[in-house]
């Protein structure tokens, strides 16, 4: 039962969230599709900026949970002020207040999710992460039935804040001291490693969500809507598996270092083959769903579909070094990883600009190829850090 409930919540949440994306891309106008995609992407980025990486310290140092919770209660609203100002100044979201409350809601959801996850409270973690996504499905159904009933942006923010509020209140029944003896690390140590987590988390959020914001900037509204629709059918479905894989890996790797390392060393060809088979299967599932739902943009673009297939394989491969390095890498290892991920981002940007401005490729394909480049380099650098960390542990 302890495993069935979290899996059920995860499947329900991500299943309905995928259904929400399908409904949006099938029954809403291009401008509404872009607005939903913008809100979805912004939620995925701004939360990390207010946490300074302390959310991942929960997983690394569960004995510091009480101190971390107290600090974040004050830190998140304080940092949400400049973060929301930056987001709104870049032209995203409807108002500064909307950006401010979205930043608080996103940060709170991430932090509380990591708290429950660190202490193996998997059902509570999934309830925190999936609650607003489940509610969003019914919100979109209402908006399709009654198009002007509610403002999309403010309604999503309200759902996010409500879910965070419920999860935060429930922490009273799962106090840190009752879950594990509290022996917190000093603040300077938590912020020292947290700063590295902030950098890597921000780069990850940009890798996952920024491409939609980029296509909105360089393409037309119709192209942005088409890109999101393709991602809905050919990229996001694989994310259902990747998300739960990452959810389970972190705490398990923390407690099974040698087993994880041995399995990775000896079974990586089988894991890669299995990943490829699953990715191809999910890609065809997306194609079948496309034919059933028949989105308004017409037939799928084969090139974009294949690029998303390759990207989904790389994202899955990335989950393993991400879990390992998040637990065992030292600050100096994270510094190397940060530079490697910066290189990946700049390389992806260079590839994107060459494709768009030199080769005159379609903006959608240019963004997709740039994203694929970023994920390939992120995965490669992650496995390189695993080898380096393991060598140091042995010597």
Question: How many other β-carbons are positioned within 10 Å of the β-carbon of residue 256?
Answer: 12
Tell me: do 14 and 97 sit in the same domain. yes
Tell me: do 149 and 206 sit in the same domain. no
Range of the domain at 100: 1-184
> For residue 331, what pLDDT is reported?
76
Q: pLDDT tens-digit profile of 223-263?
A: 999 999 999 999 988 877 777 777 777 777 877 777 777 87
> For residue 394, what pLDDT is reported?
46
Q: Given pLDDT bands bounded at 50, 70 and 90, which one contains residue 148?
A: confident
CA distances from 26 to 143, 209, 291 (A): 13, 21, 11
Half-sphere exposure (Cβ direction) of 351: Cα atoms closer than 13 Å: 19
Give Cβ neighbours of residue 352 (< 8 Å, ≥ 6 apart): 214, 366, 367, 369, 370
Tell me: do 204 and 132 sit in the same domain. no
Q: Which of 123, 149, 184 is the last residue in one of the domains?
A: 184
Tell me: do 29 and 172 sit in the same domain. yes
Q: Which of 184, 203, 219 is the last residue in one of the domains?
A: 184
Tell me: do 149 and 77 sit in the same domain. yes
pTM attached to this predicted model: 0.82
Q: Given pLDDT bands bounded at 50, 70 and 90, which one contains residue 1?
A: low
Dmax over CA atoms of the chain, in Å, equals: 65
Give the mean model confidence (pLDDT) for residues 344-357: 95
Q: Which of 78-82, 95-99, 151-155 has the lowest mean pLDDT?
A: 151-155
The residue whose two tokens read 């005159």 is: 360
The answer to whether residue 38 scores a pLDDT higher than 50 is yes
Per the structure, how many domains does the chain have?
A: 2
Whole-angstrom Cα distance, residue 223 to residue 225? 5
Label residues 124-163 b or e (16+ Cβ within 10 Å = b).
bbbbbbbbbbbbbbebbeebeeeeeeeebbebbbbbbbeb
The answer to whether residue 91 scores a pLDDT higher than 60 is yes
Hey, CA dihedral for 34, 241, 194, 337, is it positive or negative?
negative
Tell me: do 49 and 160 sit in the same domain. yes
């Amino acid at each position: 039962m302890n495993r069935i409930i979290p899996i059920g919540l995860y499947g329900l949440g991500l299943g309905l969230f995928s259904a929400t994306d399908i409904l949006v891309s099938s029954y809403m106008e291009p401008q509404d599709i872009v607005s939903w995609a913008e809100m979805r992407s912004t939620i995925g980025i701004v939360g990390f900026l207010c946490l300074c990486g302390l959310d991942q310290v929960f997983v690394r140092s569960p004995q510091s949970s009480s101190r971390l919770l107290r600090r974040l209660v004050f830190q998140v609203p304080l940092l949400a002020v400049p973060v929301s100002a930056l987001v709104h100044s870049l032209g995203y979201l409807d108002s500064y207040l909307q950006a401010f409350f979205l930043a608080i809601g996103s940060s709170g959801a991430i932090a509380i999710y990591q708290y429950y996850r660190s202490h193996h409270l998997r059902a509570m973690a999934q309830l925190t992460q999936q609650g607003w996504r489940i509610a969003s499905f019914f919100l979109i159904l209402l908006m399709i039935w009654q198009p002007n009933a509610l403002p999309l942006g403010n309604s999503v923010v309200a759902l996010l804040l409500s879910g965070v509020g419920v999860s935060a209140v429930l922490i009273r029944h799962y106090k840190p001291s009752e879950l594990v003896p509290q022996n917190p690390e000093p603040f300077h140590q938590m912020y020292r490693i947290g700063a590295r987590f902030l950098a890597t988390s921000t780069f990850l959020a940009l890798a996952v969500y920024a491409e939609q914001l980029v296509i909105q900037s360089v393409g037309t509204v119709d192209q942005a809507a088409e890109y999101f629709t393709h991602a809905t059918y050919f990229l996001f479905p694989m994310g259902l598996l990747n998300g739960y894989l990452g959810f389970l890996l972190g705490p398990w790797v923390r407690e099974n270092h040698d087993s994880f390392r041995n399995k990775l060393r000896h079974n990586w060809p089988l894991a890669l083959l299995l990943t490829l088979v699953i990715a191809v299967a999910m890609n065809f599932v997306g194609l079948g769903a496309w034919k059933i739902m028949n989105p308004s943009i017409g037939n799928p673009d084969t090139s974009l579909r294949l690029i998303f297939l390759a990207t989904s394989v790389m994202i899955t491969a990335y989950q393993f070094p991400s879990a390992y390095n998040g637990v065992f890498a030292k600050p100096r290892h994270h510094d190397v990883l940060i530079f490697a991920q910066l290189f990946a981002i700049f390389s992806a940007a260079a590839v994107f600009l060459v494709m768009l401005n030199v080769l005159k490729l379609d903006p959608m394909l240019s963004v997709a190829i740039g994203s694929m480049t970023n994920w390939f380099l992120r995965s490669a650098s992650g496995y390189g850090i695993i080898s380096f960390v393991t060598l140091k542990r042995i010597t």
